[in-house]
Amino acid sequence: MNSLIKICGISTPETLDAAVTSGADFVGFVRFPKSPRYVSLDQARNLSRQAAGRTQRVVLLVDADDAAIAEAIAAIDPEFLQLHGHETEDRVREIRSRFGRPVIKVLGIAEEADLAGLMAYAPLSDRLLLDAKPPRAPGALPGGNGLPFDWRLLTKLDPGVAFMLSGGLTSDNVAEAIRLTGARAVDVSSGVESAPGIKDPSRIEAFIKAARAAYAAKDQ
Q: CA geometry: angle at 210 spanning 204 and 215, to 5°? A: 125
Active site residue 131: yes
Q: Which helix (H) or strand (E) holds 215?
A: helix 201-219
Which residues, including other chains, have CB under 8 Å from residue 14's CB and lie 6 or more apart?
201
For 219, the 3-state DSSP assignment is helix
Per DSSP, helices labelled H in 23-88 are 41-51, 66-76
Selecting among 131, 150, 187, 200, the annotated active-site residue is: 131
Selecting among 8, 25, 172, 187, the annotated active-site residue is: 8
| Catalytic positions, written as ranges | 8, 131
